[in-house]
Amino acid sequence: MTTLVFGHKSPDTDSTGSPIIWAWYLNQIKGEDAKPVLLGEPNTEAAFMLDHWKLDKPEIISDVAADQPVVIVDTNNPAELPTAINSADIRAIIDHHKLVGGLETKGPIEIRIEPVACTATIMWKMIGDDLAQAPTGIKGAMLSCILSDTLEFRSPTTTQEDKAIAYSLAEDLGVSIPDFAAQMFAAKSNVSAFSDAELLRMDSKEYEIEGTKFRVSVLETTSPKMVLDRKDSLMASMPEVATEDGVHQVLLFVVDILNEEATMLIPNDLTRTVAEKSFGATVTGDTVVLPGIMSRKKQIIPNLKL
Amino acid sequence: MTTLVFGHKSPDTDSTGSPIIWAWYLNQIKGEDAKPVLLGEPNTEAAFMLDHWKLDKPEIISDVAADQPVVIVDTNNPAELPTAINSADIRAIIDHHKLVGGLETKGPIEIRIEPVACTATIMWKMIGDDLAQAPTGIKGAMLSCILSDTLEFRSPTTTQEDKAIAYSLAEDLGVSIPDFAAQMFAAKSNVSAFSDAELLRMDSKEYEIEGTKFRVSVLETTSPKMVLDRKDSLMASMPEVATEDGVHQVLLFVVDILNEEATMLIPNDLTRTVAEKSFGATVTGDTVVLPGIMSRKKQIIPNLKL
């Protein structure tokens, strides 16, 4: 049976590119039968990556069958995976997020989790010298994943390994990192086609503080104005999205990639309290700028207080 | 703060040796401050390993303080770890068991789980060329762990990697594998000092089938007669151990390492049903021989039926 390789729901560049990279490796190097799939429509940056490197858009699946062989990449969180994930035959997990708990495997399998910025960085290390056999598209996907997850090395999640591997790939591909990253971020920043609810869910993780559930949403953009011009209708959509998703409140952080700061929307007292207690911010209007805040994983989630 | 490195409760050779190996690596190669500890008294084979390679017996701890930096080896199961494990600062996990779920980490950490027979095998690969700097005792501990977990390559959990690494270590150390394994297994088989309850808990994992909880205990020995001569008192002790440990029934498999078979004790109808349904055995008395059964992980647990 073909092994399905996939990342998390609401696929970003790493969750779109890493399955393609790993399925290539399993097929071409390991001689296995593997296929990359997606758990949803890729975001605009991921779509740009597919287009730029002439990669086929993977099929989108909604769930997995029992005993389906799967490889999970870029997450270990059951909430971000198909409902039936624990009935599947999980063959391997490659990830760079904290261990959440909840995934179970039937037997011992290969699990590689490392505290680097990007799944593709770990894959680069695992593939080793065999990468020489990879076509341009696979190397291009790797570079795209690293530049995306590190925000071109601006994110505090960036490690020396991510950086060195990205430089090595760019050299090999003859790509200028600043030019290519600018194209990627422009693609990601083009959010005009999305509804408010789609924007609030596009890059989002649930997090609970003392029994209060939050949807912590981030929009990384080089054009924060494009999002912030819509702040009134975004804030108006928050209660409905929260209710539908079973959380108390949506928190939206608009990350300005180039200026290295985040703007948090403050629709009500609850979000104002969170902004003040978590980031020591002084809130006067319905938005607040948080200088230096770029990473949900390293800077937002660990500091959230109520 | 010193990082504590430990394996599972009721430490066997791999859970005693692997923390020593990894603490050496962190101290001597990575320049960190680390210390191996145990979550209980090592079994007789592990004690033989310490003595043979002149390794200090690690301190035994009963729990971990909040925010204590720890590295977990040879398990990922919270039930086999200190009560406060999820409040500790888990820095890394190196293991070869199935993912159980339940461990959570505060941030992304290094996790390496591979489907090999032994934790030390994974460490050998991670340490790489730096192993040349290891003293004899560290290499000896590695060899001991692999021979123990593979039952000198007889267990079906054995992979080509485990075997190749063991041969390479034995060559380097000038050790005859058959002679050394025989000494280890003789040490493990010397169970005269243990009470029945201690034997039933010595190498044991909980497993639940359709709401019925079992303590699945294995005794690997080259002298099965030494254990089976005590079968009446072992069976008499099972109800009390089961009650104390909150399970319905203890299952005891006496694994004959040299003859590659297990003898299961059959104290009652429940265990007879399990033996018949799980292994297709025909039970006539209060024991039943299961030819070829050596591994709880590969052969016992996956087949258990009620």
Question: Please, which pLDDT band fits residue A257 given cuts at 50, 70 and 90?
Answer: very high
**Residue B295 banded pLDDT, cuts 50, 70, 90:** very high
pLDDT of the residue at A101: 87
What is residue A69's predicted lDDT score, i.e. its pLDDT?
97
Sheet with strand A110-113: strands edge to edge: A59-60, A34-38, A3-6, A69-73, A89-95, A110-113, B110-113, B89-95, B69-73, B3-6, B34-38, B59-60
Mean pLDDT of chain B, nearest integer: 96
Q: What is the b/e burial string over A75-96, where b = at least 16 CB atoms within 10 angstroms of the residue's CB?
A: bbbbebbbeebbebbbbbbbbb
Confidence of residue A236 (pLDDT cuts 50, 70, 90): very high
- The pLDDT of A28-35, averaged and rounded, is 97
**Chain A residues with CB-CB distance to B106 below 8 A:** 98, 302
- Taking residues A53-63, what's their average pLDDT? 97
Q: Answer whether B115 sits within 8 Å of A107, measured CB to CB.
A: yes
Q: What is the mean pLDDT of residues B155-169?
A: 97
Is the distance from CB of A70 to CB of A4 less than 8 angstroms? yes
Percent of chain A exceeding pLDDT 90 equals 96
Q: Which residue of B lies nearest to A117 if distances are taken between CA atoms?
A: B108
Q: What does the pLDDT average to over B171-199?
A: 96
Q: Strand locations in chain A, DSSP E?
A: 3-6, 34-38, 59-60, 69-73, 89-95, 110-113, 204-209, 212-221, 249-256, 261-265, 287-291
Residue-wise pLDDT for A100-145, tens only, equals 988 989 888 999 999 999 999 999 999 999 999 999 999 999 999 9
CA distance to partner chain B, nearest, from residue A231 (Å): 31
Radius of gyration from C-alpha coordinates of chain B: 19
Distances (CA, A) of A232 to A138, A227, A279, B118: 41, 10, 23, 58
Of the pLDDT bands very low, low, confident and very high (cuts 50, 70, 90), residue A146 is: very high
Task: Tell if the CB–CB gap between A105 and B99 is shorter than 8 Å.
Answer: yes
| B135: nearest Cα among B55, B190, B57 | B55
**What is the count of residue pairs from A and B with beta carbons less than 8 Å apart?**
77
pLDDT single digits (tens) B34-75: 999 999 999 999 999 999 999 999 999 999 999 999 999 999
- pLDDT confidence band for B123 (50 / 70 / 90): very high
Write the DSSP symbol of residue A206.
E
Among A132, A141, A136, CA closest to A36: A141
Question: Sheet holding B212-221: strands in order across?
Answer: B204-209, B212-221, B249-256, B261-265, B287-291
Q: Which residues are paired to A95 by β-bridges?
A: A113
Helices (H) and strands (E) in chain B, counts: 10, 11
Share of chain A above pLDDT 70, in %: 100
Locate A79 and state its tokens.
């909430």
Candidate from A130-134, A204-208, B215-219 with smallest mean pLDDT: A204-208
The contact set of A with B (CB < 8 A) is 90, 93, 96-116, 297-298, 302
Q: What is the pLDDT of residue A107?
A: 86
Whole-number average pLDDT of chain A: 96
Q: Check residue B106 and give its pLDDT.
A: 84
Contact A122, A97 (CB under 8 A): no
- With an 8 Å Cβ cutoff, are B102 and A100 in contact? no
Give whole-number Cα distances, B109 to A113, A295, B228, in Å: 7, 17, 45
Please compute the mean of the pLDDT values over residues B273-290 and round it to a whole number. Answer: 96
pLDDT, residue B291, reads 96
pTM of the model: 0.89
Interface test with A, best of B75, B99, B114, B295 (most A CBs within 10 A): B99
Provide the phi-psi class of B92: left if phi over 0, else alpha when psi is between -120 and 50, else beta.
beta
Could you give the percent of chain B with pLDDT greater than 70?
100
Q: What is the pLDDT of residue A181?
A: 97
The partner residue sitting opposite A103, judged by closest CB among B96, B101, B298, is B101
Cβ separation B98–A108 shorter than 8 A:
yes
ipTM value for the complex: 0.83
Across the interface, which of A98, A103, A112 has its CB nearest the CB of B107? Answer: A98
- Is residue B107 over pLDDT 90? no
- Does B101 have pLDDT greater than 90? no
